[in-house]
Structure 1
Amino acid sequence: MNTRQPIGVGRRQFLKASAATALVGAVHGAAETPAASEKKATLIADENRQPGTDDWQLTRVRLDKTTGVRASTIEGYCSKQSVLAGESLEIFVSTNPMAKFHIEIFRTGYYGGRGARLMTTLGPFDGKKQADPVMGDERIMECRWEPSATLTIPKDWPSGVYLGRLTTQSEASDKPYWQNYVVFIVRDTRPADILLQCSDNTWQAYNKWPESTSLYTDPRGAHARGVKASFDRPYGKYVQIYENPQSIGSGEWLCFEFPLAYWLEEHGYDVTYCSNSDCLDAAQITRCKTLISTGHDEYWDLRQYDAVKKSIEAGVNVLWLSGNACFAVSPLAPSSDGREKRIIERVGHFAGLTDAEVAKEEKVFTKDFKRVGPDESLIIGARSVVPFNGGGDWTCARPNHWIFEGTGMKEGDSIPGLVGWEHHGSPADIPGNEIVAEGLVWAGGVNPSRYTATIYPGPKKNFVFNAATIFWAQGLSSPPGHMLPWSHWSRPHGPDERVQRITHNLLKRALA
């Protein structure tokens, strides 16, 4: 069933929202940026002229236990990681105890600083407890819930990352409500300036829902081969480096990636969105001028590596605004009912690490550790190194390079805490590869490792930039619903004009 309902916005509400949007826009536009002076009309710029909403975050969340990840009072997942306009998406919801609930669908973006727009409301529905999955072969937990709602994506919904806010409701006003998210991506096939690829394979690899069932909880070791994770289950609370209640149901989108999308849309860049699973074919990438990897982009199908390599050869620019990228080889497989690309399996790692590094981390890389992919540094410019955790400052090494134009940075100048918590180190032997920033990252707060940010020329006047840190987006913006992370006794400081200018410089060159 298609339960989509149109949104009604009264004249007074619209005028109030428009005035607030204009005020926020005036404040942010006071200092003109390189992008602002050259801004062109784009679908995304038009979308962000729509009135946003202040009420899209989770307000009341309750974990089943204090140290757990699950909020079973209401929880859910979607039938696809990404969906085209005109296609249908099933949403699966469980409530325990039984309760009525509704689903508000928000598109995340800038929207005058509000961070999201309400697209539609579904329901109310009669909720029920749906069965927990039984652990299958290779420790897979795959839900087989009944769909609660079917949403056909309207043709006018633009590409973006969408959150469905699940809220229980009761006829009795004295009973509390509880909330959770589901997350999905609306993609498109149009040519665009920027393709922002979400790192959702990694979101799922670390997802412990319902309890201790991620790719890292195998009794054989954290990096054991032959373990699987299914997208057919809710996202539990984020588990790695800090506590973030907004992560319940939303993967790692609000933690590490949303600040980039918010900033791109604030400045009117022509951006479209996709999942890891959409980048297995180079044609999905080459329709755009620039591919951006963001956040923690660790888990890759070999087909994605090949697609990105072909795209670079075809002239696409790549910005690795990420760390620990393209590290674990994880082929995508169909679900038990045949839906494509719903299961990831860790079969090994790309070939970047040396034997000495593997030996140094023998407690992490078990005896069945296998190199089953090519050297990831050949498409990134550098690779993950051991120790691969930590935090540090991002330090300028080549102040005369064009990426630093207008930043005022001199050699040795640092952006505090921007590197972490995983990074890229040893630079690749690629003709023209330059180190633009380098320094130490302190694993455990005390053990040194070295990161290197790099840039190298592609074959068709394109380039590949590697920021060498998961935290790059933290220097771009701090949108609603986002919390600054910290790890290994180090933390980024939030928006920084130098990070913003470097990113503008990169995009100006990439989109010329």
Structure 2
Amino acid sequence: MKRRTLISLALGASALSAAEPDADFFIEGYAGKLSVAQGEEVPLHITTSEAACEIEVARLGAKREVVWQKSGVAGKRQIVPEDASAKGCGWSESIRVPVGAEWKSGYYEVRLKIADAGGKWTLHNRRTAESSAFFIVRQARPGSTSKILLQLATNTYNAYNNWGGFSIYAYNSLSNNAGHRVSFQRPAASQYSRWELPFVQWAEANGYVLEFAANSDLEHHPEMLASYQLVLSVGHDEYWSTPMRDHLEAWIGKGGNVAFFSGNTCCWQVRNEDGGDAFTCWKQNYHLDPVFASREFKTLSTLWSHHLVQRPENQLTGVGFLWGGYRRSHGQFMEEPAAYKVHRPDHWIFAGTGLRRDDDLGGKDTIVGYECDGCELEWKDGLPFATSRDGTPKDFEVLATCPVRWHPDDAEWYERWEKGRIGAACMGLYTRGGTVFTAGTTDWAHGLQGGDVAVQRITRNLLDRLSQTAG
């Protein structure tokens, strides 16, 4: 049977099968567990055209370290359900990866490989195919190697993953029709290499030891927080559940510190389902969320800043996307420098940078972008102050700003949006038990990757101070 026919049967959706390559040679898979502790096992679920495949597992940190390999793993074609995006593939387990007790906490890439020698009589070319999956290894004894926890933005990875036809976004879903439920039990699309990996590479190369967790570990393993002094969010940490946020805010209240080297952070509320194997987020279509009909809006899966939820992310991070926007993205400020303007250079985070008031920060590596968070500001004697009318804590100190703006397609669905408003990315911090810093931008790590001396020194100042003591 030709592969196009097989794919049509397997996918059960003509629109999806029509886009598939016409080649009977493939391999894909996913990790059955998103996050495991050292000493546990990770089931892999694989579909392939070949009778056998190879697997390689490597930790991605300061360098790529291969920790486990296996060849001759039995291959099997597995059917893709029509609702795979929302409910997962349900594939049978192919093999289990034994996670060693000595494996470092971190992000682990799984490479799945097949190869052949071509045809028997002709086409003697060698063919290869490869795909990847990932899982996260937590420290079995939290805090035993580091007091810094990096929780990865795995919910955001899943939100943008359109494998099976649908993501949470219309632009990359079938027929431009966004899904509202997405499963982790399908081949993944990771954003780790874009933001978190450059941060991890810089940190580990400079002597910082980090322990790792998934977003959902803040919900399902909140007890781990007590072992850390500092929690990090890096890059694009957009999707948070109520338990995630509740647990982190309670920990901050007891003296825990957080550094959000991220932007668009905690923008949308999700509800984890199936024990964390999937989540729901209705976003702009919040009126279709069953919670809307119940009028119990606390867990309504829309903007955290929505007036029905009444819990703007500013209360956690100090800033939010409603007062932020885009820079060097979505057609906004595409030609202007993507740099912060420094306002309060005497603050301890700027120690050793040599920066002065009104100096630019990070323009070489466009650290302000592509999505940025801000707060409502008022200006006095040329300096910005948070009004706190948007939920930003009263003691939030604005250290640097840069103009940003929403694209109308993103903003004007919200009936309380002020059309045409220009916001400002805001870097700053506040203290409420522990200290909370925000970079206010997704692209802070690009300054580390680019070798910006001031960005590196600010990051050092924050890691060194907040990992040692409360506030």
TM-score by length of 2: 0.75
Partners of 2:324 and 2:374 within 8 A in 1? no
Equivalent pairs, count: 386
Question: Pairwise mapping of residues 71-110 of structure 1 onto structure 2 (< 5 A)?
Answer: 73-95=26-48, 97-98=49-50, 100-110=52-62
Judged with a 3 Å threshold, the aligned counterparts in structure 2 of structure 1 residues 223 and 67 are, in CA distance, closer, same or farther, namely closer
Judged with a 3 Å threshold, the aligned counterparts in structure 2 of structure 1 residues 307 and 72 are, in CA distance, closer, same or farther, namely farther
Secondary structure at the residue paired with 1:258?
Answer: helix
1:505 paired residue number: 461
1:302 paired residue number: 242
Post-superposition CA distance 1:105-153 (Å, at most 9, x none): 101111xxxx2111010222232332112127xx715101122211121
Q: 1: distance between equivalents of 2:396 and 2:405?
A: 25
- Unaligned stretches of 5+ residues in structure 2: 1-16, 119-123, 287-301, 329-337, 376-385, 409-419
How far did residue 253 of structure 1 move? Answer: 0.7
How far did residue 235 of structure 1 move? Answer: 2.0
2:293 paired residue number: none
Q: 2: distance between equivalents of 1:296 and 1:258?
A: 12
Partners of 1:107 and 1:160 within 8 A in 2? yes
2:125 paired residue number: 174
Secondary structure at the residue paired with 2:187?
Answer: coil
Question: Pairwise mapping of residues 199-238 of structure 1 onto structure 2 (< 5 A)?
Answer: 199-211=153-165, 213-217=166-170, 227-236=180-189
Q: Does 1:438 align with 2:401?
A: yes
Judged with a 3 Å threshold, the aligned counterparts in structure 2 of structure 1 residues 229 and 291 are, in CA distance, closer, same or farther, namely same
Q: Percent identity?
A: 30
1:425 paired residue number: 374
How far did residue 449 of structure 1 move? Answer: 3.2
How far did residue 72 of structure 1 move? Answer: 7.9
Partners of 2:25 and 2:50 within 8 A in 1? no
1:473 paired residue number: 445
Judged with a 3 Å threshold, the aligned counterparts in structure 2 of structure 1 residues 372 and 268 are, in CA distance, closer, same or farther, namely same
How far did residue 314 of structure 1 move? Answer: 1.1
1:385 paired residue number: 322
Question: Pairwise mapping of residues 53-452 of structure 1 onto structure 2 (< 5 A)?
Answer: 73-95=26-48, 97-98=49-50, 100-110=52-62, 115-135=63-83, 140-170=86-116, 174-188=125-139, 189-191=141-143, 192-211=146-165, 213-217=166-170, 227-236=180-189, 251-280=190-219, 281-334=221-274, 340-347=275-282, 371-372=308-309, 374-385=311-322, 388-391=325-328, 392-414=338-360, 415-416=362-363, 417-426=366-375, 427=386, 428-441=391-404, 448-452=422-426
Q: 1: distance between equivalents of 2:188 and 2:18?
A: 16
Partners of 2:401 and 2:424 within 8 A in 1? yes
Q: 2: distance between equivalents of 1:474 and 1:443?
A: 22
How far did residue 443 of structure 1 move? Answer: 5.1
How far did residue 429 of structure 1 move? Answer: 3.7
Secondary structure at the residue paired with 1:476?
Answer: helix
Q: 1: distance between equivalents of 2:247 and 2:69?
A: 37
Partners of 1:282 and 1:310 within 8 A in 2? no
How far did residue 370 of structure 1 move? Answer: 7.4
Secondary structure at the residue paired with 1:131?
Answer: coil
Letter in 2 for 1:420: G
Letter in 2 for 1:186: V
Partners of 1:99 and 1:170 within 8 A in 2? no
Partners of 2:50 and 2:114 within 8 A in 1? no
More strand by share: 2
Post-superposition CA distance 1:138-196 (Å, at most 9, x none): x7151011222111211111211000111112256831212111110000232231000
How far did residue 371 of structure 1 move? Answer: 3.7
Q: 2: distance between equivalents of 1:277 and 1:208?
A: 20
Q: 2: distance between equivalents of 1:74 and 1:67?
A: 13
How far did residue 261 of structure 1 move? Answer: 1.1
Secondary structure at the residue paired with 2:400?
Answer: strand
Q: 1: distance between equivalents of 2:175 and 2:406?
A: 20
Post-superposition CA distance 1:465-511 (Å, at most 9, x none): 0000000111112xxxxxxxxxxxxxxxx331111100001112112
Partners of 1:347 and 1:372 within 8 A in 2? no
Q: 2: distance between equivalents of 1:454 and 1:207?
A: 32
How far did residue 223 of structure 1 move? Answer: 11
How far did residue 99 of structure 1 move? Answer: 5.0
1:360 paired residue number: none
TM-score by length of 1: 0.69
Q: 2: distance between equivalents of 1:104 and 1:128?
A: 18
RMSD: 3.1
Partners of 2:142 and 2:224 within 8 A in 1? no
Letter in 2 for 1:433: F
